[in-house]
Amino acid sequence: MTFDIIFLPDCSGRYILLRNQIISFLERPGKGVFFIPKITERINIMARRTKYPKLPNKFGTIRYLGQKRRNPYAVHPPTTEFTKNGVPLRPPALCYVDAWIKGFTVLVALKGGTYYPGYERTLEIEETEDLKGLSQKILADYNRFKNPDEIDKGKTFEEVYKDWYDYKFVRDKSRTYSPHTLNATRGAFKRCKTLHDKEFRQITYDDLQKVIDDSPLKYASLEQVINLLHQMYAYAKIYHITDEDCSLYLKINKPDEEEHGTPFTNDDLIKLWKNQDDEDVEFLLIMCYSGFRISAYKNMEINLEEKYFCGGVKNKYSKNRVVPIHKDILPLVKRRLDRDGCLLTSDQTFRKHLDERDLLTHLGISHHTPHDCRHTFSKLCEDFKVNENDRKRMLGHSFGNDITNKTYGHRSLSDLQKQIQKIKIPKI
């Protein structure tokens, strides 16, 4: 849409005139803002700072930094990244300008795909008059462009998910995500099938909690569903699709199998050692005698010369911890690295393969999850009198209120090696 002249009223009643091609968007009648790809005429603006209206949705931000700066307005593009908890992160400024209207023009150009670094230096401003006859055109533009917001507010859960997915994984080029993360995200969305066709604004807390309560998923998978909902609601609030975050108080009303597992018995371990040539059994034994969560083995640092693992996931106590390689699993580790080049490519693939083979049943062992290997390691440490504090270190557990061990408890690799070698494998 093209106008010869367009204006922006400020709180003092003065009017700013802008010329050239305009795509117009007003926040509300009488206090509007406009999309301006480029200003070619000069307009002189008084030095007095003006309180400008709120920018349109999905537009970006303009921050006033103070009077003593040559260019006191920081111009930021729309938010494209969230923290793990769904909190939006402000992106770096595109540029800094001496007038709010220049910042607005930069964002207009960015919105229209015509912005380039240094664009702001091409903008000029001059004084002009003649406001008569423009008011009706401006109000007409407002009425034309306010409806898209209403359309956004009527979007279904599935539509909001697609917008958010594009927002996080497609448009944002600042980082890349693993196939596992993408698949886990899509899987979490599929678990919300009962919500897909519902209008997002009409979904209640009870609707969301019912999805969690009715799901047969395990605790860890339900955590992924809740995390997805947190991020979707953060996105929806930013873009005014909803005013309320119904995901905030969701809870999982089932035990965490990460914390409540069943260790392999001594008889179970004998059966595993008798079948150590099997590739899946091989990995189960490695896990039973090292104690990491299964996902940690994908990116594990393995030092065969000094004989230790370094890795971990979940929290600051677990990450980058050192666990000596027990002498009896060292041949298994070397064999696996020589054959596969790594200990594990995908934890999901391993779980699926283990279930499809029904391996444990064939070996005469009752059902166990891969996480039970971590519980097995903990029990072995306990059974063979491994130092309790070293057990915590190797499992990546917090020392809680034990400030002495948390702050001053330093142990060498040699110290940990002596402790882990206390564990004896069963006689076959």
Two structure tokens written together for 386? 């491994």
Helices 279-288 and 372-383: crossing angle in degrees, nearest 10, is 50
What is the torsion angle, in degrees rounded to the nearest 10, for the CA atoms of residue 392, residue 395, residue 401 and residue 406?
80
Q: What does the alpha-carbon distance between residue 212 and residue 210 come to, in Å, rounded to a whole number?
A: 5
Q: What does the alpha-carbon distance between residue 289 and residue 416 come to, in Å, rounded to a whole number?
A: 13
In this structure, what are the phi and psi dihedrals at residue 133, rounded to the nearest 5 degrees? 90, -5
- Exposed/middle/buried for 62, CB within 10 Å: 0-12, 13-18, 19+? buried
DSSP 52: P
Two structure tokens written together for 169? 């994984």
Q: What does the alpha-carbon distance between residue 41 and residue 19 come to, in Å, rounded to a whole number?
A: 6
Instruction: Round to the nearest angstrom and report the end-to-end CA distance of the chain.
Output: 83
DSSP 156: B
pLDDT (0 to 100) of residue 400: 55
Give whole-number Cα distances, 335 to 193, 218, 244, 273, 371, in Å: 44, 33, 54, 15, 23
Short-list 170, 200, 165, 17, CA closest to 101: 17
Q: What is the pLDDT along the chain (428 residues), one digit of tens a residue?
A: 333 334 444 333 333 334 333 333 333 344 344 444 444 434 444 444 455 556 666 778 888 888 788 899 999 998 878 776 667 788 899 999 887 778 877 877 777 667 788 888 887 754 434 323 332 333 333 334 444 445 456 889 999 999 999 988 888 777 777 777 788 899 999 999 999 999 999 999 999 999 999 998 887 788 889 989 999 999 998 888 888 899 989 998 887 655 567 899 999 999 999 999 999 999 999 999 999 988 889 888 999 999 999 988 766 666 788 999 999 999 999 999 999 999 998 887 888 888 888 999 999 999 898 989 999 999 999 999 999 999 989 998 765 554 445 443 468 899 999 999 999 999 87
Q: What does the alpha-carbon distance between residue 220 and residue 210 come to, in Å, rounded to a whole number?
A: 17
Q: What does the alpha-carbon distance between residue 62 and residue 56 come to, in Å, rounded to a whole number?
A: 12
Q: Are 140 and 148 in contact (CB under 8 A)?
A: no
The H or E element containing residue 58 is none
Residues near 190 by beta carbon (within 8 Å), at least 6 away in sequence: none
Q: What does the alpha-carbon distance between residue 85 and residue 245 come to, in Å, rounded to a whole number?
A: 13
pLDDT (0 to 100) of residue 410: 60
Q: Vertex 115, ends 111 and 117: CA angle to 5°?
A: 140
pLDDT (0 to 100) of residue 206: 95
- Exposed/middle/buried for 101, CB within 10 Å: 0-12, 13-18, 19+? buried
Domains of the chain: 2-145 (no CATH), 153-238 (1.10.150), 266-420 (1.10.443)
